[in-house]
Chain A
Amino acid sequence: MDRHKAMRIADGEEIGNALPPDLASEVQSFQDLSALVREAAQPDGKPPEFEAFFRGVEARFEALQGAPVRRWARWRSWWQERPLWWMAPVGATLAAAALVALVGSEERAPNNTCFVDSYDLNDGSVVIDQDLDDPSRATVIWFLEEG
Protein backbone atom coordinates (compact mmCIF):
# COMPACT_ATOMS: atom_id res chain seq x y z
CA MET A 1 0.00 0.00 0.00
CA ASP A 2 2.90 2.29 0.77
CA ARG A 3 4.07 1.88 -2.79
CA HIS A 4 0.70 3.07 -4.17
CA LYS A 5 0.67 5.93 -1.72
CA ALA A 6 4.18 6.92 -2.78
CA MET A 7 3.01 6.88 -6.46
CA ARG A 8 0.04 9.09 -5.69
CA ILE A 9 2.21 11.51 -3.66
CA ALA A 10 4.80 11.57 -6.44
CA ASP A 11 2.05 12.36 -8.99
CA GLY A 12 0.68 15.15 -6.76
CA GLU A 13 -2.62 13.40 -6.22
CA GLU A 14 -2.08 13.26 -2.50
CA ILE A 15 -0.33 15.62 -0.14
CA GLY A 16 2.49 14.02 1.73
CA ASN A 17 3.69 15.87 4.85
CA ALA A 18 6.02 14.49 7.44
CA LEU A 19 6.53 11.26 5.61
CA PRO A 20 8.49 8.48 7.14
CA PRO A 21 11.97 8.23 5.66
CA ASP A 22 11.37 5.02 3.65
CA LEU A 23 8.20 6.41 2.09
CA ALA A 24 9.88 9.74 1.40
CA SER A 25 12.69 7.85 -0.36
CA GLU A 26 10.12 5.87 -2.40
CA VAL A 27 8.34 9.09 -3.39
CA GLN A 28 11.63 10.69 -4.43
CA SER A 29 12.58 7.72 -6.60
CA PHE A 30 9.17 7.85 -8.34
CA GLN A 31 9.58 11.57 -8.93
CA ASP A 32 13.07 11.04 -10.38
CA LEU A 33 11.79 8.31 -12.67
CA SER A 34 8.90 10.47 -13.80
CA ALA A 35 11.27 13.33 -14.59
CA LEU A 36 13.50 11.01 -16.65
CA VAL A 37 10.51 9.70 -18.66
CA ARG A 38 9.24 13.22 -19.34
CA GLU A 39 12.70 14.34 -20.43
CA ALA A 40 12.99 11.44 -22.88
CA ALA A 41 9.46 11.81 -24.27
CA GLN A 42 9.47 15.57 -24.72
CA PRO A 43 12.00 16.96 -27.27
CA ASP A 44 13.87 20.01 -26.24
CA GLY A 45 12.37 22.01 -29.14
CA LYS A 46 15.63 22.54 -31.04
CA PRO A 47 15.49 21.74 -34.82
CA PRO A 48 17.95 19.13 -36.12
CA GLU A 49 21.22 20.32 -37.67
CA PHE A 50 20.11 20.11 -41.34
CA GLU A 51 22.47 22.91 -42.33
CA ALA A 52 25.49 20.83 -41.52
CA PHE A 53 23.97 17.84 -43.37
CA PHE A 54 23.42 19.86 -46.58
CA ARG A 55 26.89 21.37 -46.36
CA GLY A 56 28.29 17.83 -46.37
CA VAL A 57 26.15 16.82 -49.34
CA GLU A 58 27.14 19.88 -51.34
CA ALA A 59 30.81 19.36 -50.62
CA ARG A 60 30.62 15.75 -51.78
CA PHE A 61 28.67 16.69 -54.92
CA GLU A 62 31.21 19.35 -55.87
CA ALA A 63 34.03 16.87 -55.29
CA LEU A 64 32.36 14.30 -57.59
CA GLN A 65 31.77 16.86 -60.36
CA GLY A 66 35.35 17.92 -60.33
CA ALA A 67 36.80 14.38 -60.23
CA PRO A 68 37.67 12.58 -63.52
CA VAL A 69 34.99 10.04 -64.49
CA ARG A 70 36.33 6.55 -65.01
CA ARG A 71 36.47 5.38 -68.61
CA TRP A 72 34.41 2.25 -67.95
CA ALA A 73 31.71 4.26 -66.21
CA ARG A 74 31.62 6.66 -69.16
CA TRP A 75 31.29 3.75 -71.64
CA ARG A 76 28.59 2.13 -69.57
CA SER A 77 26.66 5.34 -69.37
CA TRP A 78 27.02 5.85 -73.15
CA TRP A 79 25.76 2.33 -73.93
CA GLN A 80 22.85 2.66 -71.55
CA GLU A 81 21.78 5.96 -72.96
CA ARG A 82 21.91 4.82 -76.60
CA PRO A 83 20.66 1.22 -76.73
CA LEU A 84 19.97 1.36 -80.48
CA TRP A 85 23.59 2.17 -81.24
CA TRP A 86 24.65 -1.26 -80.15
CA MET A 87 21.42 -3.22 -80.49
CA ALA A 88 21.15 -2.52 -84.23
CA PRO A 89 24.68 -3.68 -85.15
CA VAL A 90 24.43 -6.71 -82.88
CA GLY A 91 21.07 -7.66 -84.41
CA ALA A 92 22.41 -7.19 -87.93
CA THR A 93 25.46 -9.34 -87.13
CA LEU A 94 23.29 -12.12 -85.71
CA ALA A 95 21.02 -12.01 -88.77
CA ALA A 96 24.04 -12.15 -91.09
CA ALA A 97 25.50 -15.08 -89.14
CA ALA A 98 22.21 -16.97 -89.41
CA LEU A 99 22.09 -16.29 -93.16
CA VAL A 100 25.66 -17.42 -93.66
CA ALA A 101 24.95 -20.58 -91.65
CA LEU A 102 21.92 -21.36 -93.79
CA VAL A 103 23.71 -20.69 -97.08
CA GLY A 104 26.77 -22.53 -95.89
CA SER A 105 24.79 -25.60 -94.96
CA GLU A 106 23.22 -25.59 -98.41
CA GLU A 107 26.64 -25.38 -100.00
CA ARG A 108 27.85 -28.30 -97.93
CA ALA A 109 25.05 -30.53 -99.23
CA PRO A 110 26.70 -32.42 -102.09
CA ASN A 111 25.36 -32.24 -105.58
CA ASN A 112 24.66 -35.86 -106.40
CA THR A 113 23.55 -35.25 -109.94
CA CYS A 114 25.11 -38.01 -112.01
CA PHE A 115 25.34 -38.12 -115.82
CA VAL A 116 25.38 -41.65 -117.21
CA ASP A 117 27.21 -41.34 -120.51
CA SER A 118 27.07 -44.98 -121.56
CA TYR A 119 26.70 -48.53 -120.39
CA ASP A 120 27.65 -51.81 -121.93
CA LEU A 121 26.22 -55.24 -121.05
CA ASN A 122 25.79 -58.61 -122.69
CA ASP A 123 22.55 -59.60 -121.03
CA GLY A 124 20.07 -58.15 -118.61
CA SER A 125 18.89 -54.56 -118.63
CA VAL A 126 19.71 -51.24 -117.07
CA VAL A 127 17.35 -48.77 -115.42
CA ILE A 128 18.63 -45.37 -114.39
CA ASP A 129 16.70 -43.97 -111.46
CA GLN A 130 17.35 -40.30 -110.93
CA ASP A 131 15.56 -37.07 -110.18
CA LEU A 132 17.23 -34.19 -111.98
CA ASP A 133 15.03 -31.72 -110.09
CA ASP A 134 16.52 -32.87 -106.79
CA PRO A 135 20.34 -32.79 -106.97
CA SER A 136 20.67 -34.05 -103.41
CA ARG A 137 19.06 -37.37 -104.35
CA ALA A 138 21.61 -39.90 -105.50
CA THR A 139 21.28 -41.53 -108.89
CA VAL A 140 20.84 -45.32 -108.87
CA ILE A 141 22.01 -47.38 -111.83
CA TRP A 142 19.98 -50.57 -111.56
CA PHE A 143 21.43 -53.59 -113.30
CA LEU A 144 18.63 -56.14 -113.70
CA GLU A 145 19.70 -59.65 -114.56
CA GLU A 146 17.51 -61.73 -116.82
CA GLY A 147 15.51 -64.46 -115.17
Chain B
Amino acid sequence: MRPGMFPILGGAMVLWLLLATGLSRDAEAQPRAQVTLTVILAQREPPKLHPGLQKMWDTLRRSFGDRFSHFDLAGETTRVLAEGDRVETTLPNGERFAAIFRGVTEEKGLLRVHLEMGEFRTKVRVHDGGVFFQAGKRHGNATILVGVRAALVR
Protein backbone atom coordinates (compact mmCIF):
# COMPACT_ATOMS: atom_id res chain seq x y z
CA MET B 1 0.00 0.00 0.00
CA ARG B 2 1.40 3.40 -0.99
CA PRO B 3 1.90 5.97 1.77
CA GLY B 4 -0.33 8.41 -0.09
CA MET B 5 -3.32 6.12 0.50
CA PHE B 6 -3.28 6.57 4.30
CA PRO B 7 -4.95 10.05 4.37
CA ILE B 8 -7.66 8.80 2.01
CA LEU B 9 -8.32 5.71 4.09
CA GLY B 10 -8.29 7.75 7.30
CA GLY B 11 -10.77 10.22 5.86
CA ALA B 12 -13.03 7.39 4.75
CA MET B 13 -12.99 5.86 8.20
CA VAL B 14 -13.81 9.19 9.88
CA LEU B 15 -16.67 9.69 7.42
CA TRP B 16 -17.95 6.18 8.10
CA LEU B 17 -17.80 6.78 11.87
CA LEU B 18 -19.68 10.07 11.52
CA LEU B 19 -22.36 8.42 9.41
CA ALA B 20 -22.68 5.47 11.81
CA THR B 21 -22.96 7.82 14.79
CA GLY B 22 -25.52 9.92 12.97
CA LEU B 23 -27.55 6.85 12.06
CA SER B 24 -27.49 5.52 15.60
CA ARG B 25 -28.56 8.92 16.92
CA ASP B 26 -31.35 8.94 14.39
CA ALA B 27 -32.40 5.48 15.61
CA GLU B 28 -32.30 6.68 19.21
CA ALA B 29 -34.37 9.71 18.32
CA GLN B 30 -37.17 7.51 17.01
CA PRO B 31 -38.22 5.22 19.81
CA ARG B 32 -40.65 2.41 19.23
CA ALA B 33 -43.23 1.12 21.62
CA GLN B 34 -45.07 -2.16 21.95
CA VAL B 35 -48.68 -1.32 22.66
CA THR B 36 -51.16 -3.99 23.73
CA LEU B 37 -54.92 -3.48 23.81
CA THR B 38 -56.76 -5.99 25.99
CA VAL B 39 -60.54 -5.93 25.69
CA ILE B 40 -62.38 -7.31 28.69
CA LEU B 41 -66.05 -7.82 29.43
CA ALA B 42 -66.60 -7.32 33.14
CA GLN B 43 -69.65 -8.12 35.24
CA ARG B 44 -70.41 -8.00 38.90
CA GLU B 45 -70.94 -11.76 39.11
CA PRO B 46 -70.62 -14.75 38.92
CA PRO B 47 -66.93 -14.83 39.78
CA LYS B 48 -64.82 -15.75 36.75
CA LEU B 49 -61.38 -15.04 35.41
CA HIS B 50 -60.61 -15.92 31.82
CA PRO B 51 -57.35 -17.94 31.62
CA GLY B 52 -55.95 -15.34 29.25
CA LEU B 53 -56.30 -12.71 31.94
CA GLN B 54 -54.42 -14.51 34.67
CA LYS B 55 -51.30 -12.41 34.08
CA MET B 56 -53.43 -9.28 34.63
CA TRP B 57 -55.29 -10.60 37.65
CA ASP B 58 -53.44 -8.56 40.22
CA THR B 59 -54.00 -5.34 38.24
CA LEU B 60 -57.67 -6.17 37.65
CA ARG B 61 -58.25 -7.02 41.28
CA ARG B 62 -56.65 -3.83 42.51
CA SER B 63 -58.40 -1.60 39.97
CA PHE B 64 -61.85 -3.20 39.71
CA GLY B 65 -62.10 -5.62 42.60
CA ASP B 66 -64.75 -3.53 44.34
CA ARG B 67 -66.97 -3.42 41.23
CA PHE B 68 -66.54 -6.64 39.30
CA SER B 69 -65.73 -10.26 39.96
CA HIS B 70 -66.38 -11.63 36.46
CA PHE B 71 -63.73 -10.93 33.82
CA ASP B 72 -63.96 -12.37 30.32
CA LEU B 73 -61.36 -11.81 27.63
CA ALA B 74 -62.96 -10.47 24.45
CA GLY B 75 -59.76 -9.88 22.51
CA GLU B 76 -56.15 -8.80 22.61
CA THR B 77 -54.12 -6.93 20.01
CA THR B 78 -50.43 -6.13 20.15
CA ARG B 79 -48.34 -4.05 17.77
CA VAL B 80 -44.94 -2.46 17.79
CA LEU B 81 -45.44 1.18 16.88
CA ALA B 82 -43.14 3.88 15.63
CA GLU B 83 -44.00 7.43 16.55
CA GLY B 84 -47.34 8.34 14.93
CA ASP B 85 -48.41 4.73 14.33
CA ARG B 86 -51.63 3.33 15.72
CA VAL B 87 -53.02 0.06 16.90
CA GLU B 88 -56.76 -0.56 16.59
CA THR B 89 -59.29 -3.05 17.76
CA THR B 90 -63.04 -3.51 17.47
CA LEU B 91 -64.95 -3.55 20.72
CA PRO B 92 -67.75 -6.09 21.34
CA ASN B 93 -70.31 -3.31 20.81
CA GLY B 94 -68.90 -2.68 17.32
CA GLU B 95 -67.07 0.56 18.10
CA ARG B 96 -63.46 1.08 17.06
CA PHE B 97 -60.84 1.75 19.67
CA ALA B 98 -57.41 3.07 18.71
CA ALA B 99 -54.21 3.89 20.55
CA ILE B 100 -51.64 6.11 18.85
CA PHE B 101 -48.04 6.29 20.02
CA ARG B 102 -46.84 9.88 20.14
CA GLY B 103 -43.26 9.46 21.28
CA VAL B 104 -41.46 9.81 24.57
CA THR B 105 -41.17 12.83 26.82
CA GLU B 106 -37.63 14.14 27.07
CA GLU B 107 -37.59 14.83 30.77
CA LYS B 108 -38.94 11.64 32.35
CA GLY B 109 -39.06 9.29 29.41
CA LEU B 110 -42.82 8.82 29.67
CA LEU B 111 -44.65 7.36 26.71
CA ARG B 112 -47.23 9.59 25.09
CA VAL B 113 -50.34 7.69 24.04
CA HIS B 114 -53.48 9.11 22.46
CA LEU B 115 -56.72 7.16 22.59
CA GLU B 116 -59.64 7.39 20.19
CA MET B 117 -63.03 5.79 20.69
CA GLY B 118 -65.78 7.30 18.56
CA GLU B 119 -65.94 10.99 19.45
CA PHE B 120 -64.03 10.50 22.65
CA ARG B 121 -60.32 11.49 22.61
CA THR B 122 -57.81 11.21 25.43
CA LYS B 123 -54.13 12.07 25.72
CA VAL B 124 -52.11 10.38 28.41
CA ARG B 125 -48.51 9.81 29.46
CA VAL B 126 -47.48 6.51 31.05
CA HIS B 127 -44.34 4.97 32.42
CA ASP B 128 -42.50 2.39 30.37
CA GLY B 129 -44.39 -0.89 30.83
CA GLY B 130 -47.29 0.78 32.59
CA VAL B 131 -50.94 -0.22 32.22
CA PHE B 132 -54.07 1.89 32.32
CA PHE B 133 -57.72 1.26 31.48
CA GLN B 134 -60.41 2.91 29.49
CA ALA B 135 -63.80 1.79 30.79
CA GLY B 136 -67.48 2.59 30.82
CA LYS B 137 -68.99 1.43 27.54
CA ARG B 138 -71.71 -1.17 27.94
CA HIS B 139 -72.29 -4.39 26.04
CA GLY B 140 -75.36 -6.26 27.24
CA ASN B 141 -74.99 -6.77 30.96
CA ALA B 142 -71.25 -6.31 30.80
CA THR B 143 -69.02 -3.29 31.02
CA ILE B 144 -66.26 -3.01 28.46
CA LEU B 145 -62.79 -2.48 29.88
CA VAL B 146 -59.90 -1.77 27.56
CA GLY B 147 -56.48 -2.28 29.11
CA VAL B 148 -53.67 -0.38 27.40
CA ARG B 149 -50.10 -1.39 28.04
CA ALA B 150 -47.24 0.52 26.48
CA ALA B 151 -43.61 -0.48 26.71
CA LEU B 152 -40.54 0.80 24.91
CA VAL B 153 -38.89 -1.57 22.49
CA ARG B 154 -35.12 -1.49 23.03
A116-B133 in contact (CB<8A): no
A142-B130 in contact (CB<8A): no
CB closest chain-A residue, reference B149:
A110
Max chain A Cβ within 10 angstroms of own Cβ: one of B64, B122, B135: B122
A121-B124 in contact (CB<8A): no
In the assembled complex, A23 has its CB within 8 A of some CB on chain B:
no
**Which of A117, A123, A136, A137 makes the CB contact (< 8 A) with B124?**
A117
Given the interface pairs A121-B121, A145-B136, the reply to whether A115 lies near B130 with Cβ below 8 Å is no
A145 vs B62: C-alpha distance when bound (angstroms): 24
Given the interface pairs A117-B125, A121-B121, the reply to whether A137 lies near B133 with Cβ below 8 Å is no
Given the interface pairs A110-B129, A111-B130, the reply to whether A120 lies near B136 with Cβ below 8 Å is no
Residues of chain B within 8 A (CB-CB) of A135 are: 127
In the assembled complex, A119 has its CB within 8 A of some CB on chain B:
yes
Interface residues in A98-147 (C-beta closer than 8 Å to B): 110-124, 126, 129, 134-145
**Which of A122, A134, A136, A140 makes the CB contact (< 8 A) with B133?**
A140
- Tell me the smallest distance from the CB of A109 to a CB of chain B, in Å: 9
In the assembled complex, B123 has its CB within 8 A of some CB on chain A:
yes
**Which of A116, A124, A145 makes the CB contact (< 8 A) with B122?**
A116
A141-B125 in contact (CB<8A): no
B126-A114 in contact (CB<8A): yes
A138-B62 in contact (CB<8A): yes
- Tell me the smallest distance from the CB of A147 to a CB of chain B, in Å: 11
Interface residues in B104-119 (C-beta closer than 8 Å to A): 110, 115, 117, 119
Going nearest first, the 4 A-B pairs with the smallest beta carbon separation are: A143-B136, A111-B127, A114-B132, A120-B121
Binding site for A on B (CB under 8 A): 59, 62-64, 110, 115, 117, 119-127, 129-138, 145, 147
